[in-house]
Amino acid sequence: MTTNEVTTPIESEPARETNYLNATTGIMSWLGTLDHKRIGVMYLVSVLMSFFVAGLFAMVIRIELMWPGETIIDQDTYNQMFTLHGAIMVFLVLIPSVPASLGNFVLPIMLGAKDVAFPRLNLFSYYLWVTGAVMAVAAILFGGVDTGWTFYVPYSTTGVDDRGAMDGVFFLTMAVFVLGFSSIFTGLNFIVTIHRLRPPGMTWFKMPLFLWAIYATGILQVMATPVIGITVLLLAVERTVGIGIFDPSLGGDPILFQHFFWFYSHPAVYIMILPPMGIISELISVHSHKHIFGYRFIAFSSVAIAIFSFLVWGHHMFVSSQSPLLNVVFSAITFSVAIPSAVKVFNWLATLYKGSISLNTPMLYALSFIFLFTIAGLTGLPLAVIATDIHLHDTYFVVAHFHYTMMGGALTGMLGGIHHWWPKITGRMYSEVWGRIACGLVFVGFNVTFFTQFVLGSLGMPRRYHDYSGPGWAQETTDLFHSLHFVSTMGSFIMALGFFLTAGYLIHSLFRGRRAPANPWGGRSLEWQCPSPPPVYNFAEPPHVGDCYDFSVLEWDEQEQGYHWRRDLAHDAGEA
């Protein structure tokens, strides 16, 4: 980050204490670090870079769809674009996003611990991620992938003349295998850390809710990911050698692949959404300066969602010749996921009620999350109803629905978390004005982009089509879809502008931002008790553990531009 030596602080500013950023210098001190904070930062940078790449693919897709007919790319390139967009966003961005980056940084500090339980495993899982990313790049170089991110058989087993081909599909499936183990080790590390490294006095029900979410996510990562591991391994062997387990032309069962795939990939969407939900629980409470409402319900709802998520994979397969009885059962269980999700939303709203709400940038993202996630959840219901799903299956309605959960939910939550902990991670404050503007742009752009797609989908626009004109398309249908796609693409430009603005002011803050106080928002969990940025071992002395949503012990310090412990309680707090 900075090249300043410890011994030569910038003259105009007070000398900073040694922290995790400046304790050691040089590129090797980062690449070989065991410090969970540095690993978290490396994850954050890597994940955001992948997000940028996959976002570019998305923009190519959107521009192609702006006009009927071939606009900028042909259909084969289009197939590769949506495959890479999906695969990178899912496996390289969303699954590691919050747990591996923000979770890595914040989790041990929230526990008052020096590090995660297995620091070397933590670094190893980062390098597994890097290996997976390199293999994904190799997949692009070795001819690309056009199977869709789901690798459905027979798309993924045909199209090669010679079965021994080490081509894009092979590399991408093996990348998913490696990335899966990266995710497993992260989840395993966090579960053990939460079990064994909680400080004295912090019982399970005194943990910040973010940790409950990370814990539930860890269970999903550990229990679901091995199944995708063996699935993609079998798929890679099927493609290269031809063992006949999935490929119907060899006597295999392609539906078995779908079962295997969704047995992981449905829990995987909760791996993506649960940690951002945990972030929102923190943001809502801290920025409305009010004790979280219904702590235990929120905590248990995370676990409930994790359990339900293992039992609903069949709702992706309603039209795959699955037995009608199974369809009904999966449909019913899918409805029940709405209960713990709604428990969370209502508790957040109740927390806001009569709170002293500060509309800081993180809070705007949190409110935006609640709005978008509610739409995402409600539009999930028509997809869970078998009759309507038959109409909506594989249309833009599905695309819009999962973008509302994955982007409107997971990514918005992550952006909120980045803005919330940015002062803690970098020690700098970003521009609040630009932050609010960018958040507004992303919110508006997102809704313009994807709400339009709900309309497109319910009118019958199929997903994964690069064109909606020509023989078989009525002219008025083409015109209607053209206007809607055009609006949708305009929205994506607004959203892209918001993201570039965000990148701009965040990078600007690294160099020109005001020094961050230890506690700029008035957070009560332990990470706000150590300096910003934290020292290498997080706490010089054991932090004060208590109710992490009891904000009455904090007061605003005008000079420091941050919160600190009330003077009259300072003797309790373990810091002067």
**What are the two backbone dihedrals, phi and then psi, of residue 361, each rounded to the nearest 5 degrees?**
-55, -45
Please give the sequence-ordered ranges of beta strands (E in DSSP) within 416-497, or none if there are none.
Answer: 428-429
Q: Give the closest residue to 104 by CA, choosing from 185, 169, 17.
A: 185
Type of residue numbered 229:
G
| Per CB under 8 A, 163 contacts another protein | yes
List 99, 252, 275, 445, residue binding another protein (CB under 8 A): 252
262 — alpha (psi -120 to 50), left (phi > 0) or beta? alpha
Q: Are 373 and 395 in contact (CB under 8 A)?
A: no
| Per CB under 8 A, 197 contacts another protein | yes
List 9, 244, 294, 355, residue binding another protein (CB under 8 A): 244
Distance of CA 133 to the CA centre of its chain: 17
Q: H or E stretch including 220?
A: helix 209-240
Type of residue numbered 311:
L
Residue closer to another protein (CB basis): 64 or 247? 247
Q: What is the CA radius of gyration of the chain?
A: 24
Assign 3-state DSSP to the chain and report helix, strand, coil percentages, each to 5.
65, 0, 30
| Per CB under 8 A, 242 contacts another protein | yes
Q: What is the largest CA-CA distance in the chain?
A: 79
List 2, 52, 72, 195, residue binding another protein (CB under 8 A): 195
Interacting residues with another protein between 518 and 537 (CB under 8 A): 537
| Per CB under 8 A, 245 contacts another protein | yes
Residues in the chain: 576
List 9, 119, 460, 462, residue binding another protein (CB under 8 A): 119
The CA distance from 171 to 317, in Å, is: 26
| Per CB under 8 A, 243 contacts another protein | yes
Interacting residues with another protein between 484 and 513 (CB under 8 A): none
| Per CB under 8 A, 225 contacts another protein | yes
Q: Give the closest residue to 436 by CA, choosing from 502, 497, 352, 500.
A: 502
Window contacting another protein (CB under 8 A); options: 203-211, 245-253, 312-320, 352-360? 245-253
Residue closer to another protein (CB basis): 123 or 438? 123
List 89, 93, 109, 227, residue binding another protein (CB under 8 A): 227
Minimum CB distance to another protein, residue 295 (Å): 25
Binding flags for another protein, 334-373, as an x/- string (CB under 8 A): ----------------------------------------
Residue closer to another protein (CB basis): 154 or 355? 154
List 237, 303, 459, 510, residue binding another protein (CB under 8 A): 237
Q: How far is CA 379 from CA 89, 383, 388, in A?
A: 21, 7, 11
**What are the two backbone dihedrals, phi and then psi, of residue 381, each rounded to the nearest 5 degrees?**
-65, -45
Q: What is the total count of residues that contact another protein (CB under 8 A)?
A: 48
- Enumerate binding residues for another protein (CB under 8 A): 108, 113-119, 121, 163-164, 184, 188-189, 191-193, 195-197, 222-223, 225-227, 229-231, 234, 237, 240-245, 248-256, 260, 321, 537
